[in-house]
Structure 1
Amino acid sequence: MARINHAEHVISTVESGSVGTRLTASWRRSLKKHGLDPERPVTPRRFSEAEISERRERLGGFMNLASPKLDQLFQMVGNTGCSVMMTDRDGVVLDQRSKDADSDTFQSWGLWTGADWSEESEGTNGIGTCIAEARQITIHRDEHFLSRNTVMSCMDAPIFGPDGELIAALDVSSCRADQTEAYARLISNVVAQTAKQIETDAFRAAFPKARIITAPEDRPDGAVLLAVDHDDLIIGATRAARRAFGLGQGAHIVPTPASDILGRDSTVSALERAERAALKRAIARAGGNVSAAARELGIGRATLYRRMKRLGIGENGEN
């Protein structure tokens, strides 16, 4: 499809209001919401070194944690004319790898550190649309919104932080004109797996003292992990785990007994610790209401308070 015809095709698809392709909604956002022209020739804007450093600092140790996984991914795809990039949640490239022989091409396309590949800036593209829709995606050549981006294929996966919120996007972009959609799908699977590994490492690092449980359910939208404290209460969950078990979103998670979620009692056999865990579970289920917890346990409120005091449990179930 010629470049001018590509622009006409995008505009006519959006204006017709038809369902069209799987990317019509993104094309519509690009044209109507963001006011972009599919024939715009300007390459992506690039942030200054100071702004890039500030964005990296916001992610703290996440960048160092992810770097080895980016190296491994690049070792797998770098010799096939591909670049590996990681962006923040705004679509700004913070880390990038490519072969020297391909670097001029990627730089001329704007696939480089500091470039803004948000959907608001570049329309439908692997990075921006992955972030906008919070899902794994492949944008192959003329599926891009801007005509000048139809020379590339982009395979992307979102990375979610320990609080379940989107924190970054992982991208592999190809400069090979002969890359097929089938090969792009193979790379896409590797990108998704790498994103899941980075998410897993970040989650484990966020809960260094907790027991990490890998739930038996495998989901395509990320790692299903739970962080459980020594009283069998869930104190953290990945995005996929929150969605699988209805644990909600956001930084705060209501402590919930892991045995309630997983259908098994994972407490140790020591009597005192078992009693302590049972009391904390009852208090957690009752939302901190000691009277309701006592009723659930079948004991008096005063008895429950005495046991809580003996075991060092506060009124809200805290240590």
Structure 2
Amino acid sequence: MTQAARLPLDEIRRRFFSDQPLPGQALPPSILHSWQRCRSLGLPASGRGGDRLDDGALRERREANALWLEAARPVLAGLGELIAGQDLALVVADSRGLILDESGDIAFLDKAARLALTPGMDWSEAARGTNAIGTALAAADSVLVRGAQHYLERNRALSCAASPLLGPQGQLLGVLDLSGASRKLGDFQMRALRAARGQIEAKLLEEAAGSGWRLNLHHDLRLLDSPAACQLLFDEEGLLLAANRAGLALCGLEPGDWRPRHFAALFGHSLEHWLSRHGAATGLLEAGAQQFSARLRPPARRVDAAIRSRPLAPPRPAPAALDGMADSLFASALKLLEADIPVLIQGETGTGKDRLARALHAASSRRAAPFVAINCAAIPEGLIEAELFGYQPGAYTGASRQGSKGKLREADGGVLFLDEIGDMPLALQARLLRVLQEREVTPLGGGPAQRLNIRLICATHRKLRARVDEGGFRADLYYRLCHYPLSLPPLRERGDVAAIAQAMLDGMGAARRGVTLSPELARAIRGYRWPGNLRELSNLLATLLVLADDGAVLTLGHLPAALREEMAGQGSVPGDSAISDLLRRCGGNASAAARALGISRSTLYRRLGKAAK
């Protein structure tokens, strides 16, 4: 038996929280990495207080998740019968870790309520430390947390198993959790959870499959119709609409990281080519270096463009992916969009206006219809009119012989996003106003007017009211767009920026690779003003993740030198006096002080040596 296996969990906790080294394999990697994430966020082992959502707010959260909850209901009922009499609770949480519902043995539910494991409570890692619900969401993977493996001391009486639920486009919908007294859970319960999750995800994919071509693939022909097969759904043009877990992996997509994929890009030839050769028969298909048996089935119902604008999949992406944005802002914007009221988003550069627009489209009833974006500041003034309204063949010198339908008509049936609308030329503003009023567009060069059915989202970093007063923006267009303007706060005003950074890292796959922030770097992230907002933070984290080895703890030393200097200038980076104070608090233990700062002992001595000169 190894030293790590013999080390009691209480001793492991004592060493971890006193910054002493742990022997290899002292904890499962998923638990250790979660502890490190929690520590980097400054979460004490005693925990922090948290309020239960009031009944009205909880009802709204349930309504936002109603479509997948309804699909899950019969499966959850069956899972509840399976665990009956085992002194367990079945807990359902949303993609942000908020408990939506629970059921199970009354005796344990009473105990769970005393531990705040009850509807309306937040069980994300940031709120409750390492726990099955929050850690499964952070890692996008099933997890078992027993007893004192929980980060918070008061939760050591629990054992919890959880499995995250994915929608047909790989988005995190929520999590299924089984909780009980310590040592009550094991492999049987985890298998039951995964089976329930698989049934729910299959049902959601089946609901999405009605309007798409379904491609099943497997190395073994006999397993083409089994749950283990890759399942991909494509529209008539060969664009990927949805996939199961195996299909996501085949397409190189991580959970929560949906990107457009085309049949031809995946398999080397078009959907039309496959149909001409095989039709609905079984054939062989190559994806990269792999060869599969494959069968393509036609849509269960053939639909026109208007019907295709209905949702393919039930999920509404939770605003968790929008990095600290208030739920109320997202909910208000979605209501405006669904009511066909223009959504105007204002905010500093880099606050995520484009991400909000895409999330609104993905959450709306038009999520299967086009989302067309145009940056009004990035296209030369002489071309933006043609880009928006389209043109007839030969409408102007250099025009395409085939003409162009334009962005407005491309968005027909879907959502048009006009970014930086405050920079739109005045002459073009008049044409846009007319389109919005008449709901039809005439291409450059003449031709009949075309009816339009679009929902509009606009964004700008400018103060539009001031632009109107300056004469740079039409007052009539301003009032047409500005029904209820929404302001995105800068990153520095969105709460704990280190928690947002860790959540963004996890969304990029850091949790699966065991990459975490050091406490020192988390403090620096909190103290920095982030002039580039989310864009600056996201770009930095993506770069650090590419450069980091698996299991790395990111420190100040991983940052570009220029950024370290900026942070130091703002007081975000601990100076030499702060390092000396920390060393004194560690009783002169240089190793403990270096670990707390996320730096090596030699770096610590070097800094102290410079301070002494």
TM surpasses 0.5: yes
Letter aligned with residue 56 of structure 1: R
TM-score (norm 2): 0.38
| 1:207 aligns to 2:209 (yes or no) | yes
Q: Which residue of structure 2 lines up, in the alignment, with residue 236 of structure 1?
A: 242
Q: Which residue of structure 2 lines up, in the alignment, with residue 29 of structure 1?
A: 37
Q: Which residue of structure 2 lines up, in the alignment, with residue 139 of structure 1?
A: 145
CA gap of 1:7–1:254, structure 2 versus 1, over 3 A, is closer
Counterparts of 1:215 and 1:55, CA distance in 2: 37
Q: Which residue of structure 2 lines up, in the alignment, with residue 267 of structure 1?
A: 279
Post-superposition offset of 1:54: 1.7
- Summarize the alignment of residues 123-272 of structure 1 with structure 2, pairs less than 5 Å apart: 123-175=129-181, 177=182, 179=184, 183-216=185-218, 224-229=230-235, 234-246=240-252, 250=257, 253-256=260-263, 260=267, 266-268=278-280
Larger Rg: 2
Counterparts of 2:236 and 2:175, CA distance in 1: 33
CA gap of 1:93–1:214, structure 2 versus 1, over 3 A, is farther
Kindly tell me the number of residue pairs found equivalent between the two proteins: 260
CA gap of 1:153–1:215, structure 2 versus 1, over 3 A, is farther
CA gap of 1:112–1:244, structure 2 versus 1, over 3 A, is same
SS at match of 1:16: coil
Counterparts of 1:48 and 1:237, CA distance in 2: 36
Q: Which residue of structure 1 lines up, in the alignment, with residue 65 of structure 2?
A: 59
Post-superposition offset of 1:191: 0.5
SS at match of 1:124: coil
Post-superposition offset of 1:44: 5.1
Counterparts of 2:82 and 2:71, CA distance in 1: 19
Q: Which residue of structure 1 lines up, in the alignment, with residue 21 of structure 2?
A: 16
* Aligned partners of 1:138 and 1:155 also within 8 Å: yes
Post-superposition offset of 1:6: 7.2
Letter aligned with residue 198 of structure 2: K
CA gap of 1:185–1:50, structure 2 versus 1, over 3 A, is same
Post-superposition offset of 1:224: 3.7
Q: Structure 2 residue aligned with 1:112, among 118, 121, 125?
A: 118
* Aligned partners of 1:4 and 1:147 also within 8 Å: no
- Summarize the alignment of residues 43-54 of structure 1 with structure 2, pairs less than 5 Å apart: 45-54=51-60
Q: Which residue of structure 1 lines up, in the alignment, with residue 100 of structure 2?
A: 94
TM-score (norm 1): 0.70
Q: Which residue of structure 1 lines up, in the alignment, with residue 88 of structure 2?
A: 82
* Aligned partners of 1:127 and 1:171 also within 8 Å: yes
CA gap of 1:205–1:100, structure 2 versus 1, over 3 A, is same
Counterparts of 2:120 and 2:74, CA distance in 1: 20
Letter aligned with residue 201 of structure 1: K
Post-superposition offset of 1:196: 1.6
Identity %: 24
Counterparts of 2:134 and 2:280, CA distance in 1: 47
CA gap of 1:184–1:99, structure 2 versus 1, over 3 A, is same
Counterparts of 2:216 and 2:74, CA distance in 1: 22
The CA RMSD over aligned residues, in Å, is 3.4
Q: Which residue of structure 2 lines up, in the alignment, with residue 308 of structure 1?
A: none
User: What are the ranges of 5 or more consecutive residues in structure 1 without an aligned counterpart?
Assistant: 270-315
Letter aligned with residue 243 of structure 2: A
* Aligned partners of 1:228 and 1:258 also within 8 Å: no
